[in-house]
């Protein structure tokens, strides 16, 4: 599948999931169709030379989305490589994020004069089973989940997990912190969520303005966090 046909396939998808969760100035591209590694540059393909075919297609689709998101900001012909932690190395002056799950992929980008960091994540609603809770959630988060009705519990667990993924992707672009999942607590407030340090005296750079958005659709939860650049 070439770039043109993959773009046509992507355009047949349903309404965009992430654009409503993002402010003006953030460019987003999504795809429900995987693409082949033929869409990758030579240097991008080298990053996954030993990967299994499913991972190759997932990676290629993420890079395809990122490439077209960057083109919305006027950046073309850029190879999106990765650092030692496998985080994307965006062009100078750009922050962004990529997510993929079960045939769905999205990439978002923005300029650093507007945004310090951007994080997005998509997860299947049933991705977090109860046996994983102690590894992913604080005691307060687990107590909140337990009191929810059964039919809501697995969706809210997925939301908490996805929100933390979005937060970690976002903060790594400016704070460069390596954090455990239990380092922060997610509080859900209406159709938004925010993070706070799990313990006092730590991560004091986390601000009240670190408030993200979320939405459920197509048996997935989609979360986003955008931190504005300091003025």
User: How far is 218 from 121, CA to CA, in rounded Å?
Assistant: 14
pLDDT in tens, 90-101: 999 999 999 999
Determine phi and psi for 76, rounding to 5 degrees: -130, 160
| Three-state secondary structure call for residue 17 | coil
- Is the pLDDT at 177 greater than 60, yes or no? yes
Average pLDDT over residues 65-77: 97
- Which H helix or E strand runs over 143? helix 139-146
Please count the residues of the chain: 231
Residue 12's pLDDT band (cuts 50, 70, 90): very low
Q: What is the pLDDT of residue 19?
A: 96
DSSP three-state, residue 124: strand
Place of tokens 């951007």: 118
Q: What is the pLDDT of residues 105-142, one digit of tens each?
A: 999 999 999 999 999 999 999 999 999 999 999 999 99
CA gap 51, 154 in Å, rounded: 31
Share of the chain above pLDDT 70, in %: 93
Three-state SS for 144? helix
pLDDT by residue (tens digit) across 77-90? 999 999 988 999 99
Ranked by mean pLDDT, the top range of 22-31, 173-182, 208-217 is: 22-31
Question: What per-residue confidence (pLDDT) applies to 66?
Answer: 98
With contact defined as beta carbons under 8 Å apart, do 227 and 170 qualify?
yes
Buried residues in 132-143 as b, exposed as e (16+ CB within 10 A): ebeebbbeebee
Mean of the per-residue pLDDT values of the chain: 92
Q: How far is CA 43 from CA 38, 82, 96, in A?
A: 12, 10, 19
Domain 3-113 bears CATH identifier 3.40.50.300: no
Question: Which residues have C-beta within 8 Å of that of residue 48, sequence separation ≥ 6?
Answer: 37, 55, 56, 59
Joined tokens for residue 22 = 């993002």
- Residue 1: pLDDT band (50, 70, 90) is very low
The conformation of residue 135, written as its DSSP 8-state character, comes to H
Which pLDDT belongs to residue 11? Answer: 40
Mean pLDDT, to the nearest integer, of 6-14? 44
CA 48 to chain CA centroid, Å, is: 20
CA angle, residues 5, 6, 11, in degrees to nearest 5: 100
Span of 5-14, 19-28, 38-47, 72-81 with lowest mean pLDDT: 5-14
State the pLDDT at residue 14. 53
CA–CA gap between residue 9 and residue 84 (Å, rounded): 33
Sorted by where each begins, the domain ranges of the chain are 3-113, 125-216
Which is higher by pLDDT, 200 or 181? Answer: 181
- Residue 207: pLDDT band (50, 70, 90) is confident
Average pLDDT over residues 177-196: 94
Cα 143 from Cα 69, distance rounded (Å):
39
């Amino acid at each position: 599948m070439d770039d043109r046909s993959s773009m046509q396939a992507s355009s047949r998808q349903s309404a965009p999931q992430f654009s409503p969760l993002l402010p003006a100035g953030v460019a987003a591209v999504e795809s429900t169709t995987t693409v082949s590694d033929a869409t990758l540059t030579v240097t991008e393909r080298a990053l996954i030379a030993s990967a299994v075919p499913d991972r190759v297609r997932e990676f290629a689709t993420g890079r395809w989305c990122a490439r077209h998101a960057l083109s919305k900001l006027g950046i073309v012909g850029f190879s999106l490589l990765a650092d030692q932690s496998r985080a994307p190395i965006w062009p100078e002056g750009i922050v962004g994020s990529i997510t993929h799950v079960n045939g769905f992929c999205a990439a978002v980008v923005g300029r650093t004069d507007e945004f310090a960091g951007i994080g997005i994540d998509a997860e299947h609603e049933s991705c977090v089973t109860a046996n994983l809770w102690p590894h992913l959630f604080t005691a307060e988060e687990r107590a909140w989940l337990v009191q929810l009705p059964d039919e809501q519990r697995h969706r809210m667990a997925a939301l908490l997990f996805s929100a933390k993924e979005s937060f970690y992707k976002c903060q790594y672009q400016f704070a460069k912190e390596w954090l455990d999942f239990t380092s922060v607590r997610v509080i859900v407030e209406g159709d938004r969520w925010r993070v706070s340090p799990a313990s006092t005296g730590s991560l004091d750079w986390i601000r009240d303005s670190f408030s993200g958005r979320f939405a459920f659709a197509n048996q997935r939860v989609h979360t986003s966090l955008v931190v504005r650049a300091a003025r």
